[in-house]
Amino acid sequence: MSAPLHLLAYLLAGLGGGFLALRSGIPAAPLAGALLGAGLLSLSGRLEPAAWPNGTRTALEIGIGTVIGTSLTSNALSELRQLWKPALVITISLVGAGLVVGLLCSRLLGMDPLVALLGAAPGGISGMSLVGAEFGVGASVAALHAVRLITVLLVLPITVRLLVGPATPPG
């Protein structure tokens, strides 16, 4: 199968997974479903790894950044003025926990320290796998973050609903 057909197969697997996940009602369902769909196809070993045309990943990341950026409003900025202390505590705690977990995984489980530290770092799969790629360990870091992301997207919404009850729409 040619490279363009491989990409088409991955796109179809991602689309299929994304649309199926939409029916689940979990937050970020399209992202999680697309990740699972394309990831399972990739892990099956039936196709060569995807070779995206130059600039594709960058264009997609710009698109994702734009979507997230457009959700930042004056209300969000106003909330940040009140939330800067918790934001600072959360950030320091997560970075510290990531460093501790990464070092523990490296020492206790025999992982490459670079993979362990970047894999345990708080951050998105795209950003952290790009950082990992700069160090030559992008695929391993992406795999760790994919497991974390899928687990968080599946477990956390249920846990939050159990702890605080169903969400009420704003307004």
Write out pLDDT tens, residues 53-90: 888 878 887 888 898 888 888 888 888 888 889 999 99
Per-residue confidence band for 169, with pLDDT thresholds at 50, 70 and 90: low
pLDDT surpasses 80 at 102: yes
CA 79 to CA 69: how far, in whole Å? Answer: 16
Q: For position 34, what pLDDT does the model report?
A: 87
Q: Looking at beta carbons, which pairs linking 13-20 to residues 24 or more positions away fall under 8 Å? A: 13/37, 13/38, 13/40, 13/41, 14/38
Measured between alpha carbons, how far is 107 from 120 in angstroms, rounded to an integer? Answer: 13
- Asked if 16 contacts 4 with a C-beta cutoff of 8 angstroms, the reply is no
| Rounded Cα distance, 70 and 78, in Å | 16
Q: What is the DSSP letter of 126?
A: H
- pLDDT digits 0-9 by tens, 111-153: 999 999 999 999 877 778 888 888 989 888 888 988 888 788 7
Question: At 14, is the pLDDT very low, low, confident or very high (cuts 50, 70, 90)?
Answer: very high
Note the pLDDT tens digit of each residue in 17-65: 999 988 887 667 787 788 888 888 988 888 888 878 888 878 887 888 8
pLDDT at 170: 62
Name the pLDDT band for 156 (thresholds 50, 70, 90). confident
Q: What is the pLDDT of residue 113?
A: 96
pLDDT value of position 104: 97
Long-range contacts at 15-24 (CB < 8 A, ≥ 24 apart): none
* pTM score: 0.65
Neighbours of 136 (CB within 10 A): 9
Q: Domain ranges in the chain?
A: 1-49, 84-165
Angle between helices 138-164 and 125-134 (to 10 degrees): 160
